[in-house]
Every structure is written in structure tokens, then in C-alpha cells.
Amino acid sequence: MVSEFESTKDTVQEITESAAVHVGRIAQIVTGAIVDIAREIGDLATDVFEMREAKERAAADREPLPTVVDPTP
């Protein structure tokens, strides 16, 4: 027969192990979420840079407007 002390020790050990497993799983979930968020922010920044560069290229490709000279003084 197991003493009350040993039974209590076993219960505390099981609770501690279970808590450690659950905390580890939660940490993995949070870590994965942080990775996903960082990736999305990076993708958004890349999109913004690409759009800005496309705007600059489009502006450079535009033909300059003709200069109109008024012949009257």
C-alpha cells in the first residue's frame, strides 16, 4: 500500500508534468502566431515597396507634356 505522502507526491508530480506539457504547447501556439504575424507584416511591407516602385516607374515612363508658348506679348 502507498503512503499518503507518496500518493500526494505522485499527484503533485503528475500535475507538474501535465502543466509543463500544456505550457509547452501554448508556447508553441504563441510562437507560431508570432511567426505568422511577422511574415504577414513583411509581406505587406514588400507589397508597399513594390507599389511605390511601380508608381515611380510609371511616372518616369510618362511623356512630358508639350510646352505651350504664348506668341502674344
d(CA 18, CA 14): 6
Asked if residue 15 is part of any domain, the answer here is yes
Residue that the C-alpha cell 514588400 belongs to: 46
Asked if residue 36 is part of any domain, the answer here is yes
Asked if residue 30 is part of any domain, the answer here is yes
Asked if residue 64 is part of any domain, the answer here is no
Model pTM?
Answer: 0.65
Domain count, the chain: 1
pLDDT digits (tens, 9 = 90+) for 13-68: 999 999 999 999 999 999 999 999 999 999 999 999 999 999 999 988 887 777 88
Asked if residue 63 is part of any domain, the answer here is no
Which residues does 42 contact at the CB level (< 8 Å), separation at least 6? none
Asked if residue 57 is part of any domain, the answer here is no
Asked if residue 28 is part of any domain, the answer here is yes
- For residue 32, give its domain range: 1-52
Letter string b/e over residues 37-67, b meaning 16 or more CB atoms within 10 A of that residue's CB: eeeeeeeeeeeeeeeeeeeeeeeeeeeeeee
